[in-house]
Structure 1
Amino acid sequence: MEPSTYPGPDVRLARLASTVGLPAEWPPTGEYLDGLAERTGLRTHDLLLVADLPVPGTAWLFDESAGASSSLVRHSLALPAPARQVLRTRARSMTAPVGTLTPFRPRVHEHYPPGFGSLLLRMLALRNLNWSGTAKVMCLMSGVCKAASTIGAVGRGAKALDAEMLDGFAATLGVPVAVLAGLTGIRPSAESRALIPEVVDTAALVWEIRHLTQDQEGRLTGYAEVLNRE
């Protein structure tokens, strides 16, 4: 079960640091956050959320009709390692046309109370994944298949963040479940396994396409299909 109390940002950041053997630092410097991101597998912007520090406005610019599609994720997971790297290189080379991205505006149901569930959903929102997108990607990447409404309930605190959901979020974010366990205080399940390279690479791809348009994501999916046929 999720702990009944949600600790302050200094404690949350210290918990993450402890999981990877770093000393706690508060307030954190940019250099410290970058180092912690490298050790944990989270992104520096994720850690800004953990620490209740401002995330740059450009991080919240999206085409909200885009985001990682099931087709793109499925193709990425099926590719051999060299082809996954080629796909990620193509993704990094793509830039959304000027004026096509707009600032993220949470809908009424996306305003969450403080808690670990809401923190994880905000991390996924940084990847341009809403409840439905998260549910689809999580199912493909982890085998933890839940309804979009269940994902939302975790964010609202109406459903406890448990060991199964922790596995799902860890895979979707591409970080070891031990990192999220250390952050949340939730004990991982005995069935938890280390993430396989296909999942880690695909999670990185999900991050890299967050600022692409729907049309660009579709073209990238087509490219992934070609790679799978080669």
Structure 2
Amino acid sequence: MEPSNLPGPDIRLARLARVAGLPATWPPTHDFLHRLAEGTGLRTHDLLLVADLPVPATAWLFDGTAGASSSLVSHALDLTDSGRRELRTRARSMTAPEGTLAPWQPRPYEQYPPGFGSLLLRMLALRNLNWSGTAKVMCLMSGVCKAATTIGAVGRGTKPLDAEMLDGFAATLGTPVAVLAELTGVRPSAAPRDPGPEVVATASLIWEVRHLTWDQEAELSAYAQELAGS
């Protein structure tokens, strides 16, 4: 296993503040985290993980059988900009029926040692993406196609982050490669594959559907297919 190279939370936030062009603030205020989210493309909840601060319990409520499917992501990527906006609007209007979501319970193999790999996988867990879901979505969104076990190995620290994986995680999270490179200290490739607008919009959709049920996500995928054919 790779030894952890994870610096303290204040240093991690300072790195992100640097890439966002903001003065570092510790401890972070709500306003600072909001501006940092705008400047990096990450979510405020992602930044709470970076800062080792509590994430609201409601953020971890999911339908364990759901999560952004290959079908939904594939359809979203194929839509026009207006189609993707309409799809995200539909997703935001949907609410899971009462009692259908449950707190996320990490499986034993999802108990990670400290490290940037585990930090990134916990960000994806906030999106209701497990190893398999991440592998499928990452392949569609970035062209970085890895086995689910490889994704898990990054979280466990048995496979180090490299430039290729950095491209894949950046696309899946909808953030520029430079943001993750600055955070993790991993040198990006000479020509990093920054997410295009269709990928960033699809990453936003993944965030919107994280608290939906399997049935709702299937309904949304069917709606995306309708939009593609209209």
The corresponding residue for 2:9 is 9
8 Å contact from structure 2 (residues 61, 103) kept in 1: yes
Q: Does 1:143 align with 2:140?
A: no
Q: Is contact 2:66–2:217 with CA below 8 Å preserved after alignment?
A: yes
What does the per-residue CA deviation read over 1:122-150, in whole Å, with 9 as the maximum and x for residues that have no partner?
A: 00000000000000000000000000000
Runs of 4 or more above 3 Å deviation: none
Q: TM-score, normalised by structure 2?
A: 0.98
User: Unaligned 5+ residue runs, structure 2?
Assistant: none
Which secondary structure state, in structure 2, belongs to the residue aligned with residue 92 of structure 1? helix
Aligned residues: 229
SS in 2 for 1:109: helix
8 Å CA contact 2:178, 2:188 repeated in 1: yes
Q: For residue 55 of structure 1, what is the amino acid of its counterpart?
A: V
* 1:166 corresponds to 2:166: yes
Task: Report 1:1-230 matches (<5 A).
Answer: 5-230=5-230
Give the superposed CA RMSD: 1.0
Q: Report the Cα distance in structure 1 between the residues aligned to 2:74 and 2:118, rounded to whole angstroms.
A: 26
Give the conservation status (yes or no) of the 8 Å contact 1:154–1:160: yes
Q: Give the deviation of 1:3 after TM superposition.
A: 8.5
Structure 1 residues 121 and 156: alpha-carbon distance in aligned structure 2, compared to 1, 3 A threshold: same
Q: SS in structure 1 opposite 2:34? A: helix
Distance change >3 Å, CA 206–CA 94, structure 1 → 2: same
Q: Which moved more, 1:186-195 or 1:82-91?
A: 186-195
Deviation per CA, 1:24-71, whole angstroms, max 9, x where unpaired? 110001111011001100000000000000000000000010000000
CA contact (8 A) 1:33 1:44 kept: yes
Tell me the CA shift for residue 20 of structure 1: 1.1
Q: 1:112 to 1:203 in 2, by over 3 A?
A: same
How does the TM-score come out when normalised to structure 1? Answer: 0.98
